[in-house]
Chain A
Amino acid sequence: MAGAGVKLLNKRIRSVKSTQQITKAMKMVAASKLQRSQGRMLAARPYSRKLTDLMQQLADKADIVHPLFEVRPVQKRLYLVVASDKGLCGSYNMNVLKLAQKAVDESVAEGVETQVYVVGKKANDYFFKRGYTVFEKHIDFGGEMNSERGRLVGNTAVDSFLSGEFDEVRVVYASFISTMNQRSLDLPLLPIAPETGDENMEEDSRSVDYIWEPSQSAMFDALLPLYLRNRIFMTLSEAFTSEHAARMTSMSAATENAGEMIRSLTIQRNRERQAAITSELLDIVGGANAL
């Protein structure tokens, strides 16, 4: 019988092929999203850098006390964790979530009451399932960043800090290094730590004696919210860019693997079909000879 095996193999090849089509499409979508997201992120960097510079200078010079700089004994800590809404992006979510969980566990071990503020459905599911206290969640961003969302997340974080609900806010996200390389980071967000910037940059800028208009403290009030909003905006854009990059890479690998699988299955099928034909021929020849 020319068959059962061949039929089964054909079915598998078809199924792998259709999977491959999906992964290929996802790869393409992720690639175009990555390009857009990356372009926007890179375009936003000069603004962000200048703003950070200015903040740094102001913070160095002025001995102004501002509530956003206030270092309090940490009794309650908030972790802002940025992951994706959808899966199929390789180890992207796992890397971020594992780092976040470790950080949160350590924080709890210190005796600090710790809550998580999640962006992304995967992060929400992860922490919810494991019984962590989810302070707030955003599960409908879909990997697209805009300034409205930046403001929303920023305001929530800042309000929770200023109201004294949390004494420290940290952020865990995947920073974008290149398409092939994303690194999970755990960084402090609030209170603002002016020293975290680029160090050689500070050296130059310290020497300049600026005229401030209006006064430094008024400037602070205007600059800080902007700086924070921008920082959160950049963090989220970077995380989302990383997500698209991770998805593109893993879907590209999946497409390749599917191709590999199809190739080996096809060889196996052809071999089996050949074997079936040969044995059938042998039957016929054997039968003819017997006559």
Chain B
Amino acid sequence: MAKSFKVVIVTPDKTAFEGDAVSAVIPGLAGYIGIWANHAPLVAATVPGVVSLRTDDAGSSHDLAVGTGFVEVSDNVVNLMVDTCEEAGEIDVERAKKALERARSRLQGMEKDLDRERARLAVSRAQARVQAIGK
């Protein structure tokens, strides 16, 4: 079995996930970041998306929709600090899809830069949720 490492996901509300994984894929600012055991120390900003954790060699994976935040990797511990985190199972499919549509239509009607940025974030959060269910 491949070497595993510890993953901790914390949000302002709770410690959302704590456990071991063989590999992790994390949505970084500059693209997805794949992490295996003994990864070099890393600090990266993350964007809303899906975190996929492979928990064993058989390939069973664990998907979580996360919001913006940071990831820190050192000594085989992956610390993920994000503003939101939901397990795929927790997400209400219909609601997530509706939220995505709503966010998209709002984004289209936007003019101002600041609101636009927020709307764009809302869209990517909604997208991440829908994506997490689809996996």
Total interface residues on B, using CB and 8 Å?
Answer: 23
Closest chain-B Cβ to A236's Cβ sits at a distance in Å of 13
Q: Is A147 an interface residue (CB 8 A)?
A: yes
Closest chain-A Cβ to B83's Cβ sits at a distance in Å of 8
Instruction: Report the separation of the CA atoms of residues A46 and B15 in the bound assembly, to the nearest whole angstrom.
Output: 7
Q: Is A209 an interface residue (CB 8 A)?
A: yes
Contact assessment for B13 and A213 in the assembled complex, using a CB-CB cutoff below 8 Å? no
Q: Is B105 an interface residue (CB 8 A)?
A: no
Q: Is B79 an interface residue (CB 8 A)?
A: yes
Contact assessment for A219 and B43 in the assembled complex, using a CB-CB cutoff below 8 Å? yes
**In the complex, chain B residues whose CB is within 8 Å of the CB of A208:** 41, 74
Total interface residues on A, using CB and 8 Å?
Answer: 27
Instruction: Report the separation of the CA atoms of residues A3 and B33 in the bound assembly, to the nearest whole angstrom.
Output: 86
Question: Could you count the A-B residue pairs with CB atoms below 8 Å apart for me: how many are there?
Answer: 68
Contact assessment for B45 and A210 in the assembled complex, using a CB-CB cutoff below 8 Å? no
Interface residues of B: mostly helix, strand, loop or mixed? strand
Closest chain-A Cβ to B103's Cβ sits at a distance in Å of 19
Q: Is A51 an interface residue (CB 8 A)?
A: yes
Contact assessment for B15 and A211 in the assembled complex, using a CB-CB cutoff below 8 Å? no
Closest chain-B Cβ to A60's Cβ sits at a distance in Å of 12
**In the complex, chain B residues whose CB is within 8 Å of the CB of A48:** 12
Instruction: Report the separation of the CA atoms of residues A209 and B75 in the bound assembly, to the nearest whole angstrom.
Output: 11
**In the complex, chain A residues whose CB is within 8 Å of the CB of B117:** none
Contact assessment for A43 and B40 in the assembled complex, using a CB-CB cutoff below 8 Å? no
Q: Which 9 A-B pairs have the closest CB atoms?
A: A213-B44, A47-B10, A210-B41, A43-B14, A211-B42, A46-B10, A210-B43, A208-B41, A50-B81
Q: List 9 A-B contacts (CB under 8 A).
A: A43-B13, A54-B70, A210-B72, A211-B40, A212-B43, A213-B43, A213-B44, A214-B29, A219-B43
Q: Which residues in B have some Cβ–Cβ distance to A below 8 Å?
A: 8, 10-15, 28-30, 33, 40-45, 69-70, 72, 74, 79, 81
